[in-house]
Amino acid sequence: MSTKVLFGFHAVTVRLKTAPDSIVEIHLDPARRDARMRQLAERIAAAGVKVLDSDDERLTRLAGAPRHQGVVARVHPLPKANSLDDLLDGVAGPPLLLVLDGVTDPHNLGACLRVADGAGVHAVIAPKDHAVGLSATVSKVASGAAETVPYLMVTNLARTLGELKERDIRIVGTSDDAPGTLYQADLRGPLAWVLGAEGSGLRQLTRKTCDQLVSIPMKGAVESLNVSVASGICLYEALRQRGA
């Protein structure tokens, strides 16, 4: 079975909590002896997971990045829903989805996944082209949310949005020139938020597919927000209206 790498305290701790049997081994930096590392080591021991001492050079090589915090795990990928239909069929209550159109920065995707997890989003959807896939960097930035929030990459985003409409899921996109703000929109019920990359925004076809476009009020000199910040504002306004 294939394996992948997770690194950083949050990502590895979440996998220990949610699926310890999927962990092949965890590499720890023996030079790091602070309370946080001791606590993690105790959790690993309690879960019965194999531990290897690895110096900083080896950890960096395993993680593919120097900011590993002294913790790198080799894990089996968790099983995912075979399709968006499978996932939505298993959702209880009105679905809440986040669609990212053209987000190519792994740090932005990781931050969006973290926000999505906090807001209880059922899935994050992105096109296979012009989008970043899951990587060790994404998992670290997501602080474990890459393990808990399904991330589905689809061949044709406009077609997928059309299929969501057939399920009576309303498609709401963000645009600086929208006639109304998100605070004027009814965000209750089945909903998919669609956000584009910072600067370029939504692609034209994606924009046309939306049922409604709304803006986020900007009162200062800055013209736009980072996509993860915008995601947080939009998702939590939907939660507020739902009475969460």
Same-domain check for residues 112 and 233 = yes
Per-residue model confidence (pLDDT) at position 221: 79
For residue 15, give its domain range. Answer: 4-75
Same-domain check for residues 221 and 132 = yes
Same-domain check for residues 229 and 184 = yes
Same-domain check for residues 71 and 90 = no
Per-residue model confidence (pLDDT) at position 81: 62
Of 51, 75, 99, which residue is a domain's last?
75
Same-domain check for residues 186 and 217 = yes
CATH code at 217? 3.40.1280.10
Same-domain check for residues 126 and 21 = no
Of 75, 93, 112, which residue is a domain's last?
75
Reported pTM: 0.74
Same-domain check for residues 71 and 91 = no
Same-domain check for residues 88 and 64 = no
Domain count, the chain: 2
Same-domain check for residues 88 and 68 = no
DSSP the chain: ---EEEESHHHHHHHHHH-GGGEEEEEE-TT--SHHHHHHHHHHHHHT--EEE--HHHHHHHHTSS--TTEEEEEPPPP--SSHHHHHHT--SS-EEEEEES---HHHHHHHHHHHHHHT-SEEEEESSSS----HHHHHHHTTHHHHS-EEEES-HHHHHHHHHHTT-EEEEE-TT-SSBGGGS---SSEEEEEEBTTTBS-HHHHHH-SEEEB----SS-----HHHHHHHHHHHHHHHTT-
Per-residue model confidence (pLDDT) at position 82: 62
Same-domain check for residues 101 and 58 = no
* Structure confidence by residue, pLDDT tens digits, 101-143: 989 899 999 999 999 999 999 999 999 988 888 888 888 888 8
Residue spans of the chain under pLDDT 70: 1, 80-82, 244
Same-domain check for residues 108 and 206 = yes
Of 23, 47, 75, which residue is a domain's last?
75
Same-domain check for residues 61 and 175 = no
